[in-house]
């Protein structure tokens, strides 16, 4: 039987065209083409100086911790169930007794205004709009009060380094309390700063020692420079008013004498939910549970502190089995797509902290880039859940995932 030929119709051709008529609206086509966090990473590398990108991308010494964390997620194997009738997916979860849109928390990161001139303002605003928790770092470039004043909505946590001078630590805690932050995140894996060789080579030290090569590379990013030069200078905003050099402040930030005995003092001073970030062993998790800590973050600081540290994903099932369900467990380090988040939840995490992904978005396109990152994670998680045959994140469990040996 022959097929009758006909003239092509515009209505049939139009859907196949990969272009549209020109418009006068400003569009970021690079951002529109970003389909993965890896795409955002590549775009950000083109839009900021190499030294800034390296600050985000790099880790300690040989960067083995970063690579091992990535390798662990590559070993994830999902075990989908079929014929389960999952048409719609509910990605919401409960963190510290309150609902959030996805099991994702924006991790605390320092120097965010170095990545983009709006820095923490852009990230917190995006987090609030997407119903996600944002964690402000002690080494942030926006103060707790200023951040809340600019973005009053959304859930916010404050990350703290416990200083040798407890009066100074108390001042930071009071700032966060006055600003209405929900929880305090104590970072405990920084008795000293890690050796980040990329930053040393690029001159991003305290005090800065910018090399000629780094300076020339920065000069190739005029938009970044223009934003830097026409906005307030970078500072550790929570430490505003301390009459010390950056070098002296850095020496005070990290206290190698902190012990478990400091936790009760901190709980008393804060008076709210306390989360301890940087836990890498079952023993420490159990000790913190005994002290009544509400949550822990299994973390090796994104590979930026001790190289060859524990891989959080690999110890997650063991820690969850040891502490039971009474303590919330979060995980971070090389969580780069929605499947990574779901794997962590299935293996026992309440949520995953992400840092580099939103910084890639921030460097690539400011607040719009952070929004794009959230959209990417949401789409990846929704698609993976449907393929897994699971309708709610609360139904995920060890039966849905395993870590391959190779």
**CA atoms of 89 and 338, how far apart (whole Å):** 14
Neighbours of 398 (CB within 10 A): 13
Which two tokens mark 365? 């396109």
pLDDT at 242: 63
Active site residues: 301
Amino acid 200: pLDDT: 85
CB 386 within 8 A of CB 89: yes
Comparison of pLDDT for 110 and 78, the residue scoring more: 78
> In terms of Cα–Cα distance, which of 143, 106, 97, 104 is closest to 124?
106
Compute CA distances 357 → 76, 106, 233, 307, whole Å. Answer: 19, 9, 25, 21
Residue 195 has pLDDT above 90, yes or no: no
Distance CA 202, CA 91 (A): 41
Instruction: Determine the average pLDDT of the residues in 81-94.
Output: 94
Exposed e or buried b for every residue in 155-168, given b needs 16+ CB within 10 A? bbbbbbbbbeeeee
pLDDT cut 90: percent of the chain above it:
71
Distance CA 183, CA 194 (A): 26
Mean pLDDT (the chain, rounded)? 91
Q: Evaluate whether 63 touches 196 at the Cβ level (below 8 Å).
A: no
Task: Specify the higher pLDDT residue, 59 or 255.
Answer: 59
Q: Which residue has the higher pLDDT, 381 or 206?
A: 381
Helix, strand, coil percentages for the chain (3-state, nearest 5): 45, 10, 40
Q: At 223, phi and psi to the nearest 5?
A: -65, -40
pLDDT, tens only, 200-223:
888 876 556 777 877 788 788 989
In whole angstroms, give the CA distance from residue 322 to residue 69: 22
Eight-state DSSP code of residue 140: -
Q: Is residue 177 pLDDT above 60, yes or no?
A: yes
Residue 189 has pLDDT above 60, yes or no: yes
How far does Cα 229 stand from its chain's mean position?
27
pLDDT at 322 over 90: yes
E-state strands within 11-62:
none
Tokens encoding 369: 């880039």
Q: Is the pLDDT of residue 247 over 60?
A: no
Which SS3 state, helix, strand or coil, does residue 161 take? Answer: coil
Euclidean distance between CA atoms 235 and 237, whole angstroms: 5
Nearest to 279 by CA among 241, 305, 251, 245: 305
Which element (helix H / strand E) includes 184? Answer: strand 183-187
366-385: average pLDDT: 98
Would you list the DSSP string of 288-331? HHHTT-SEEEE-SGGGTSSTT---HHHHHHHHHHHHTTSSEEEE
More confident residue, 193 or 248: 193
Q: Tell me the β-bridge partners of 184.
A: 158, 274
Number of residues assigned to the chain: 406
CB count, 10 Å around CB of 254?
16
Q: Does the structure show a pLDDT above 70 at 287?
A: yes
Residue 122 has pLDDT above 80, yes or no: yes
State residue 115's pLDDT score. 94
Taking a C-beta distance cutoff of 8 angstroms, is the pair 190, 161 a contact? yes
Nearest residue to 294 (alpha-carbon basis) of 368, 184, 401: 184
Confidence of residue 251 (pLDDT cuts 50, 70, 90): low
- Average of pLDDT values for 146-156? 95
Longest dimension (CA), the chain: 89
Q: Which tens digit of pLDDT belongs to each residue from 29-84?
A: 999 999 999 999 999 999 999 999 999 999 999 999 999 999 999 999 999 999 99
The average pLDDT across 353-377 equals 98
């Amino acid at each position: 039987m022959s097929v009758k030929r006909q003239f092509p119709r515009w209505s049939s051709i139009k859907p196949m065209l990969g272009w549209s008529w020109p418009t006068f609206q400003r569009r970021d086509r690079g951002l529109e083409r970003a389909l993965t966090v890896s795409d955002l990473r590549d775009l950000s590398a083109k839009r900021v100086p190499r030294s800034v990108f390296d600050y985000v991308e790099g880790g300690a010494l040989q960067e083995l911790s970063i690579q091992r964390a990535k390798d662990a997620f590559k070993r994830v194997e999902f075990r989908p169930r079929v014929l389960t009738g999952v048409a719609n997916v509910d990605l919401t979860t409960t963190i510290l007794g309150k609902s959030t849109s996805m099991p994702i928390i924006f991790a605390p990161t320092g120097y965010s205004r170095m990545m983009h001139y709006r820095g923490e303002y852009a990230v917190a605003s995006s987090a609030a709009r997407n119903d996600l928790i944002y964690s402000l770092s002690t080494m942030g470039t926006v103060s707790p009060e200023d951040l809340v004043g600019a973005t009053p909505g959304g859930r916010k946590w404050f990350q703290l380094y416990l200083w040798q001078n407890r009066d100074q630590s108390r001042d930071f805690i009071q700032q966060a309390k006055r600003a209405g932050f929900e929880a305090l995140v104590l970072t405990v894996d920084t008795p000293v700063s890690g050796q980040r060789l990329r930053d040393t080579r690029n001159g991003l030290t305290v005090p800065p020692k910018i090399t000629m090569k780094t300076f020339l590379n920065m000069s190739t990013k005029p938009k970044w420079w223009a934003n830097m030069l026409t906005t307030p200078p970078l500072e550790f905003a929570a430490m505003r008013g301390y009459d010390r050099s950056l070098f002296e402040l850095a020496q005070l930030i990290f206290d190698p004498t902190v012990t478990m005995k400091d936790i009760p003092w901190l709980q008393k001073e804060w008076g709210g939910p306390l989360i301890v970030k940087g836990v890498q062993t079952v023993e420490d998790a159990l000790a913190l549970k005994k002290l009544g800590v509400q949550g822990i973050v299994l973390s090796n600081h994104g590979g930026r502190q001790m190289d060859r540290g524990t891989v959080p994903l690999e110890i997650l099932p063991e820690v969850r089995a040891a502490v039971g369900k009474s303590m919330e467990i979060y995980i971070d380090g090389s969580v780069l797509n929605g499947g990574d988040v779901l794997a962590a939840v299935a293996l026992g995490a309440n949520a995953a902290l992400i840092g580099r992904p939103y910084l890639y978005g921030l460097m690539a396109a400011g607040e719009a880039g952070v929004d794009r990152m959230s959209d990417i994670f949401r789409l990846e998680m929704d698609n993976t859940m449907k393929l897994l045959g699971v309708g709610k994140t609360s139904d995920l469990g060890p039966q849905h995932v395993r870590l391959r040996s190779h």
